[in-house]
Amino acid sequence: MAEIAELNRIFAGGRWTPATGADIMHVYNPADGSRIGRVTAASVQDVELASLAALEAFAGWRDTAVSERAAIVARIADGLAARAVDLADGITLEVGTPRHKCVRMQVTPAVETFKSAARLGPKVLVEEQLDATRIRKVPVGVVACITPWNYPLYQIASKVAAALMAGCTIVLKPSEVAPTNAAILADVASAAGLPPGVFNVVFGNGPTTGEALISHPAIDFVSFTGSTRAGARIAAIAGQHIKQVSLELGGKSASLVLPGVDLQLAVSKTLEKSFQNSGQTCAALTRLLVPSDALAQVSALLKTQVASFPVGNPSEASTVLGPVATADQRDKVLSLTAAARKSGAELLASGPVFGDPSGFYVPAEAYLTDADGGLAQEEVFGPVLAVVPYSDIDEAVDMANNSPYGLSGAVWGQDREEAGKVAARIRTGSVSINGAATHPDAPFGGFRMSGFGRERGAHGIEEFLTTQSIHF
């Protein structure tokens, strides 16, 4: 698969319709910088068509039995699983995820998200009786879903599966960087029996297509994942129209190593979480907080372990990390690390880079910096780890909380209970103890500039519900 299909259409009312926008956006292969596709940005008229289709379909989908909604959502999961190869090929081509990891990292989580929504939906959508008052859970209405490029299909699934189970209809605007998986999803959803107009797709960028979608009168709720800067803009536009929003934004998560732990394990697992998807993960552990007296040992471990994260062509089976997804992202990472070195940050370790010089490659790196340094405060969104030493536990907790973000985190400690108490002091949406896996149905979301609202599991479905009280 060397090119993607030209996406010069929108999916509205159950069928593909030619897009009428004048703007053309190009899609690039981050492995070599080549142009591999074109996307026609949806016009205001296209957004109108898709939004009205969703509005027209809303009442019928809202009134569809929960069991039938669950059956359709489950069939969508099966349909995506059947298209796993096509989906993974496209995501590798557009995002740069190593192909041998792509089904596991990018496709399977999306499939499981649809399965989870189908399983949990009937348990969430129950009525409550309060004496003579019936309290119903009802869908918020027509939802605009705006999603990023780093985990393109999974981020779509996290919103769409929950919204469908809640009884909402949807207009999706996927990232223009990685659009093909959304087109496949539209076909899969239609084949699964989703009624026309329940799920609609428009392609385009944020300032034109996205803002037209948020502002459209048919849209009741906006669910967005992306940068904090874009999230602030979306919240401002939605606020003008008194629309609900859910924002999953940036992060600068800390991995806090308590004294006396297995440093080999803590460092290796932190690097895995920091460099996953070439660092393009909002919940990446990008700050490693270590006891001052362990800094020399940690530095030695990093020199060895960072070298085991070579960056290379995503099509090769030996590649550990692929390129970052865009030229702009490559330039941002290189600019931030250059500025950090100029400001006094010390490069502790750097991994090798193999790949086409025209590709969007950056090395995996670890830097020693202070808690207020740029690499410890700014979301880099690349394979860069900031290492910060601390003197005592209180200072470590203060450092972990010394961030405008609050999305994720980790604590490493010999005593589980002590580690849990430290974790409870960290102001983030989730914290893992000693590398514990995140439960796929646990709520995910952040505090402060990481946004508000929750995705995944029952809480993710609740996000698209409101209540109606009927008094008898």
> Contact 165/70 with Cβ under 8 angstroms?
yes
> Contact 94/149 with Cβ under 8 angstroms?
yes
| 39 membership: H or E segment, kind and range | strand 35-40
Cα 357 to its chain centre, rounded Å, is: 28
Q: Using alpha carbons, select from 257, 251, 250 the residue that is nearest to residue 432.
A: 257
Residue labelled with tokens 């309290």: 135
- Whether 282 is a known active-site residue: answer yes
Cα 129 to its chain centre, rounded Å, is: 37
> Contact 166/270 with Cβ under 8 angstroms?
no
Query: Measuring CA to CA, how many Å separate 257 from each of 132, 265, 409?
Result: 54, 10, 11
Q: Angle CA(373)–CA(375)–CA(377) in degrees, nearest 5?
A: 70
- Whether 248 is a known active-site residue: answer yes
* Residue tagged active-site, from 176, 248, 378, 379: 248
> Contact 386/288 with Cβ under 8 angstroms?
yes
* Residue tagged active-site, from 102, 168, 282, 378: 282
Taken in order 287, 108, 227, 311, the sign of the CA dihedral is: positive
> Contact 186/208 with Cβ under 8 angstroms?
no
Active site residues: 248, 282
